[in-house]
Structure 1
Amino acid sequence: MSEHIEVSRDGAVQTVRMNRPDKKNAITRAMYAAMAKALTEGDADEAVRVHLILGVPGAFSSGNDLADFMAVATGGEHGTEVYDFLMALATAQKPVVSGVDGIAVGIGTTINFHCDLTLATPRTRFHTPFVDLGLVPEAGSSLIGPALLGRQRAFALLGLGEPLAAADAKAAGLIHDVVAEEELEAAVLALAQRVAAKPPQALKIARDFMLGDREALVARIRAEGEQFRARLSSDEARNAFVAFMNRKKG
């Protein structure tokens, strides 16, 4: 498993925290595997009623670890860790709440598409530069995004790669509310505890009705994943990764 994923319990709330601050919570394959395990085991544990996903101050996640991308782009194996996590997240049987502060790039944004409630701070920016890296949207975002945000705002986020500020994300319906940085963790835990205090069976039925049939979402995640893996080996993606890494070095 991963030392960079911390799983803890506060009453009926299970917290899954990405804790790799030196890399701004760039997510490795081991981290995906650990989060998938936490969600799956939490769903199976009757004592858990809510999943809470957190990052660290200033960084929810800077996205997928680029070293993993580069490994695949240069002929390495794909692995199933990302897919396993996305399936666990998209099919979670219990409510998922998130608290986002600062950087939320790529999967750091699309995780929240699957959350029932999200709180973010004023300095948070949701950014999905998939196309800029020669890739395609993932995590079912090409399906959820237009339904949630409207076609044009979704295209600006997922196609054009325009960042979405926290206040705009709230206005668009991507997140529930914006709170001060110093209040985020206490506020989102309190929110998760409010959810956990609801009658669990009634809440499950209500949530299932709101989510509807998830087969189309699962199918879209699978289709996006096939294209994403193919794009990772493309010249466009390889050149974009090299250019990005060179900019970071410079």
Structure 2
Amino acid sequence: MRTLRVVGLHEDGKSIVCEDPARRERFLLPADERLRAAARGDITRLGQIEIELESQMRPREIQARIRAGESVEQVANSAGVPMQRVERFAYPVLLERSRTAELAQSAHPVRADGPDVQTLSEVVAYAFGVRGQDYSQVTWDAWKGDDGRWVVGLRWQAGRSDNQAHWAFSPGAHGGTVTALDEDAEALLDPESYRAPRPVSAEAEQPTLDSVVGGAAVFEVPEPDESDTRELPRVPAEDPPPRQPAPPPRPKSRRKHTAVPAWEDVLLGVRSQRG
């Protein structure tokens, strides 16, 4: 890299004339905003000018998009510049978002009868305990919505599903207030109404409409293969059930006949009665 010395201002008034002392070659250097920033030692302004020249997205627009919830990677891909050049402008905004998320956790949820005594983080932590979920694995974030108000978001994973809840955050005295913006946020503010999902057993499969016709299950029977000449095994005939033994003959009942006395006894008896 050769060292040049400044000769003076060009006749057009927009360029600086520089000269190589060794070779006596002269060069023109545009007297633009980058040269002025370099002369002042303003590195931040130099980075802004570099992004403005390489992309149509200005630093203010980058910060506005970061403040609206976009990530550094999303903005860099949209602007067509390396992530390192976006991070220098996104860093202060990311700190602002992180600080706002911390403040929102200390805010009080708004209920029908007014702000709750407990903070948002206390209510949500209790709700996770009721559900049997790990509160330490959640992620808090904050950004500005289209209406200019701060929105605080909570992300967590339950099983294979990713869940999100959002509240509108209004900074103020005693931590400010938060208002639920969706059903998941309302459910977290009312832990007692939570109902655990019923587990579905994989072994007990319920019949569907396609497998049931008229209330009876339909089973597909394979058609016989004509090329199969094997003899089917014979099913042995079942033995007839054993005969029950005939009941024993019922004994005949014997009736007692009245004994008939002889005529002598009758005659004597008559005589004795008469005498």
Query: What band does the TM-score fall into relative to the shorter chain?
Result: under 0.3
Structure showing greater radius of gyration is 2
Q: Specify which structure has the bigger relative contact order, considering alpha-carbon pairs within 8 angstroms and separated by 6 or more residues.
A: 1
TM-score (norm 2): 0.19
Question: TM-score normalized by structure 1?
Answer: 0.21
Instruction: Flag the structure with higher strand content.
Output: 2
